[in-house]
Amino acid sequence: MMKAGELRRLIELAFEYVSAETEKQADQANNQAAVVATDPITLEVWRNLIDYIREWNSRSENKDTMSRAIALQYFLARLSQVQTAKN
């Protein structure tokens, strides 16, 4: 089970990755996430979150960029789905 601090860090790293201005910045966020996400499933869901943030931010009907709370909700729900499917 992930600790709250690790979970918050993964959410922040996803936003850092999405907003990275250089490939080096994106790589740094990815590398840090690989350390924080202690298992492959968590890292897979983290990458799903990045795609979800990008999709959310590109939709014209979403007037604001994704919030941390929505990202956290998505991450936890998706993590539960993937873990259940793999068991």
Residue 87 confidence (pLDDT): 74
pLDDT beyond 80 at 78: yes
The verdict on pTM exceeding 0.75 is: yes
Residue 1 confidence (pLDDT): 66
**Which amino acid, 69?**
A
Alpha-carbon distance of 8 to 75, in angstroms, equals 11
CA nearest neighbour of 53 among 40, 64, 39: 64
Residue 15 confidence (pLDDT): 96
CA nearest neighbour of 9 among 86, 51, 71: 71
Which whole-number Å values give the CA distances from 65 to 8, 52, 77, in the listed order? Answer: 18, 11, 20
* Residue 61: DSSP 8-state: T
pLDDT digits (tens, 9 = 90+) for 13-63: 999 999 999 999 999 999 999 999 989 999 999 999 999 999 998 987 877
